């Protein structure tokens, strides 16, 4: 199993590892088959992710994908973070072995779970962000204006 230099770098020198005590959103996901567990912490100010941290219990690929995902969403809007895909994480790491792709899926799911938790705690922000999404013609093909699984609310 060969790993890219980026995967090895993010595994050996993970970015944004840790916790945020007063996090605005926390998401935890896991994979029962491999035992990987990821926990993401978000600090959000006016719709922008100002800080993000993670704790991951898992293999090198799980740590690397968590680290890369945090790098990709830090400083971005919540809307942009919701569009993060596991494919984008894999591409940013210059690839992963096929049997480790599930780690990138966990990273995507952890980010989205943390955002869901933020919206549960701050329903007014959900409505504000939804209106911002509706103003963006490129946000979604369903016509509702958002692609975060909102059900068209």
Active site residue 147: no
Q: How many contiguous H segments (helices) and E segments (strands) does the chain have?
A: 6, 3
* 34 part of the active site: yes
Catalytic residue among 59, 103, 144, 147: 103
Residue in 34, 144, 147, 150 annotated catalytic: 34
8 A C-beta contact, residue 65 and residue 14? no
Map residue 135 onto helix, strand or coil: coil
CB burial of 33-59 (b: ≥16 within 10 Å; e: otherwise) equals: ebebbbbbbbbbeeeebebbbbbbebe
Active-site positions?
34, 103
């Amino acid at each position: 199993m060969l790993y890219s230099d980026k995967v090895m770098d993010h595994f050996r020198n993970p970015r944004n590892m840790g916790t945020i005590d007063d996090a605005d959103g926390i998401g935890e996901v896991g994979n029962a088959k491999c035992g990987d567990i990821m926990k993401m912490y978000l600090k959000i100010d006016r719709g922008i992710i100002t800080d993000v941290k993670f704790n991951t219990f898992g293999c090198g690929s799980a740590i690397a994908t968590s680290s890369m995902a945090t790098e990709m969403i830090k400083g971005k809007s919540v809307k942009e973070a919701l569009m993060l895909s596991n494919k984008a994480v894999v591409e940013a790491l210059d690839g992963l072995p096929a049997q480790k792709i599930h780690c990138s899926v966990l990273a995507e799911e952890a980010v989205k779970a943390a955002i869901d938790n933020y919206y549960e705690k701050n329903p007014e922000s959900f409505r504000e962000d939804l209106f911002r999404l509706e103003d963006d013609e490129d946000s979604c093909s369903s016509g509702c204006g958002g692609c975060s699984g909102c059900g068209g609310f």
